[in-house]
A and B are shown apart, each in its own frame.
Chain A
Amino acid sequence: MSDFERKIDRFIEFFIEYDGYKTVIEGLQNTLKIAICGLLIGIVIGTLIAIVRVLPKYKLLPRVLNGICSFYVAFFRGTPMVVQLLLSYYVALPLMGLNVPSVTVALVVFGLNSGAYISEIMRGGIQSVDPGQMEGGRAIGLSFGTTMIKIVIPQAIKNILPTLGNEFITLIKETSVVSFVGALDLYVAFNRIGSNSYEFMVPYLVMALIYIVLVLIISGLVKLMERSLSKSDRGR
């Protein structure tokens, strides 16, 4: 039996007989939970920020909001995700006297962080929609907000869908930093199998494989969505 085969056997032994698969499933769940919830929170925050940023600026309120949003984006794009996680988990929450599970903290921080990135993507998307669409809505008596939600944002999302898919993929891969606050994700799960079996080569290989499969599945889903959303493009 070669050395590599022995390592595989040892991995399988720890994966199945010592309940390694349970840890991996839990890790996978957490990874997906953090990435998906992070993306959803990010889309909501990002869209709100993007709308504030394209608002006409001759009144005071939009200017103040715009300032706040600029600061928000600067902070979350200007510091590493790990730093944001550590600040939230070890500084902000203890100061507030709260005790929140690390997965929840990670999920919220991922949402806040991707919100900053998605706001820029979304702003580009909104600006890529013909201004005539907004005019058409306003001229018929719809408010700025209604036209934004019913007409402009759906077209903007269609335009930025591939970029949004990339953001999701980035989030999935970035989840590997949540171990800094003690959350159990895919990386921690395989790391645990590795340290239990004193054998890291195969667990890390399998881990990489799972990440790749996840990303491939997401890319496929994005393509499907793009196709169904481009219905209104037929004949163009």
Chain B
Amino acid sequence: MIEVVNLNKSFGEIDVLHDINIKINKGEKVVVVGPSGSGKSTFLRCLNCMEDPTSGSIIFNGVDIADMKVDINIHRQKMGMVFQHFNLFNNKTVIENIMLAPVYVEKKRMKKLRRKNPNNEVVKSVKEIKADAKAQAIELLKRIGLEDKADAYPSQLSGGQKQRVAIVRALAMNPDVILFDEPTSALDPEMVGEVLELMKELADSGMTMVVVTHEMGFAREVGTRVIFMDEGRIIEEGNPKDFFANPQNERLKEFLSKVL
């Protein structure tokens, strides 16, 4: 589904990623771990071109999205992203946060259809688009037990609630893959559980996930493949069992001895 070929990224003089090559298949849950400054967040942000790769390609569903000529927005709609600091839209209510992108995309699609065929019967009105998006948003909120917070603003939610809303906001676009950038690092310890629980649920439903995290328990339990990065390189990867029980690389052994 995603194939990364010879990905390099540098910020000015500083090289952050060196020749990363990796293939992520449908349904995989890839967990990326490593010390801070190892380039794991940059790697994740390169996957949906939030950071433009310096060189190399990111092949997503057969298209090289690192190519500047590609309309990245269309591809990002199929790649959800969840951030460390949630990044919910502060000026929108919870339900507006979830509905915004689906409504926008659907409106654009209908406009295109109408231009092609002015008398098209299947074209939905703006009202119908909004009603559909609302129904879907409420469904998603029910799934995380926050339907009573639909009209609240993000500032009125707890960190855990914010992150769960951020996850369903990504889900509302029916993405093929969701990228998680340290989703629990900014949370109070007692709220980490509820977010991990939702992520597990997602994993069980078959969603393809790439997760950068410090939660080794999650990596072991949910991951189908764990990747260890250090100094901008993938140093070791494997299934979680071997990865944790039988690490090969010295650097990884040292890292695991510190975090486990």
Partner of B48, one of A139, A142, A154, A236: A139
A234 at the B interface (CB under 8 A): yes
Considering only residues 72-104 of chain B, those with a C-beta below 8 Å from chain A are 73-78, 80-81, 83, 85-93, 100-101, 104
Taking CB atoms, residues of chain B closer than 8 Å to A135 are: 50, 83, 87
Residue B218 at the A interface, CB < 8 A?
no
Q: How far apart sit A232 and B97, CA to CA, in the bound complex (Å)?
A: 13
A4 to B153, CA, bound (A): 59
21 contacts between A and B (CB under 8 A): A132-B83, A133-B89, A135-B87, A136-B87, A136-B88, A138-B76, A139-B83, A140-B100, A141-B105, A142-B73, A151-B89, A155-B90, A155-B91, A231-B153, A232-B91, A232-B92, A232-B155, A233-B155, A234-B153, A234-B155, A235-B153
Q: Is A146 in contact with chain B by the CB < 8 A criterion?
A: yes
Number of interface residues of B (CB under 8 A): 32
Does B2 belong to the interface (CB within 8 Å)?
no
How many angstroms between the C-alpha atoms of A137 and B101 in the bound complex? 8
B105 / chain A contacts, CB cutoff of 8 Å: 141
User: Residue of B at shortest CB range from A153?
Assistant: B91
Most chain A beta carbons < 10 A, residue from B76, B93, B105: B76
Task: Report the Cα distance A155→B50, complex, angstroms.
Answer: 22
- CB of B170 within 8 Å of the partner chain: yes
- The verdict on B156 contacting chain A, using a C-beta distance below 8 Å, is yes
Q: Does A29 contact B (CB under 8 A)?
A: no
**Docked pose: A214 CA to B77 CA in angstroms:** 49
**CB-nearest residue of chain A to B96:** A150
Q: Is B169 interfacial (CB 8 A cutoff)?
A: yes
Dominant secondary structure at the A interface:
helix
Task: Confirm or deny: A33 has a beta carbon within 8 angstroms of a beta carbon on chain B.
Answer: no
Query: Which residues of the other chain, B, contact A141 by a CB distance below 8 angstroms?
Result: 73-78, 101, 105, 173
Does residue A192 face the partner (Cβ distance < 8 Å to B)?
Answer: no
- Which B residues lie within 8 Å of A233 (CB)? 153, 155
Contacts of A158 in B (CB 8 A): 91
Closest 8 CB pairs of A and B: A136-B87, A141-B77, A139-B81, A132-B87, A141-B76, A232-B153, A140-B101, A235-B156
**Most chain B beta-carbon neighbours within 10 Å: one of A130, A132, A154:** A132
Asked if A104 lies at the interface with its beta carbon under 8 angstroms from chain B, I say no
**Bound complex: CA of A155 vs CA of B77, how far in Å?**
24
* Interface residues, chain A, with chain B CB atoms under 8 Å away: 130, 132-133, 135-143, 146, 150-151, 154-155, 158, 231-236
B-side residues, CB < 8 A to A, are: 48, 50, 73-78, 80-81, 83, 85-93, 100-101, 104-105, 153-156, 166, 169-170, 173
- Asked if A140 contacts B91 (CB within 8 A), the reply is no
Give Cα A233 to B156, complex, Å: 8
In whole Å, how far is A235's beta carbon from the nearest beta carbon of chain B?
Answer: 4
A234 and B48 contact, CB distance less than 8 A: no
Known pairs A141-B73, A141-B77, A154-B91 / 10 extra A-B pairs, C-beta < 8 Å = A135-B83, A136-B166, A138-B73, A140-B169, A142-B73, A155-B90, A232-B91, A233-B155, A234-B155, A235-B155
Q: A135-B50, A154-B91 are in contact. Are A140 and B76 (CB under 8 A)?
A: yes
Q: Which residues of A contact B101 (CB under 8 A)?
A: 140-142
Q: Which residues on the A side are within 8 Å of B48 (C-beta)?
A: 139
Residues of A within 8 A of B78 (CB): 141
Closest-by-CB residue of B relative to A59 is B68
Cα distance A133–B85 when bound, in Å?
10
Of all chain A residues, the one with the shortest Cβ separation from B87 is: A136
Please measure, in the bound complex, the distance between the C-alpha atom of A236 and the C-alpha atom of B91, giving whole angstroms.
13
- Most chain-A Cβ atoms within 10 A of its Cβ — which of B75, B87, B101, B173? B87
Q: Which of A130, A146, A155, A232 has the most CB of B within 10 A?
A: A232
For the complex, what is the distance from the CA of A136 to the CA of B86, rounded to whole Å? 8
Residue of B at shortest CB range from A144? B73
Partner of B76, one of A139, A154, A236: A139
Check if B91 sits within 8 Å of A139, measured CB to CB: no
Collect the chain A residues with CB atoms within 8 Å of residue B80's CB: 139-140
* Chain A proximity of B70: nearest CB distance (Å): 13
**Please, which residues of chain A bring their CB within 8 A of the CB of B74?**
141
Point out which of A138, A143, A231, A233 has the most chain B C-beta atoms below 10 A from its C-beta: A138
- Nearest A residue to B76 via CB reads A141
Report A-chain residues with C-beta under 8 Å of the C-beta of B92.
Answer: 151, 232
Chain B residue contacts of A151, Cβ below 8 A: 89, 91-92
> Complex Cα distance A140/B96, Å?
14
Contact of B73 among A143, A231, A234 (CB under 8 A): A143
Residues of A within 8 A of B87 (CB): 130, 132-133, 135-136, 139
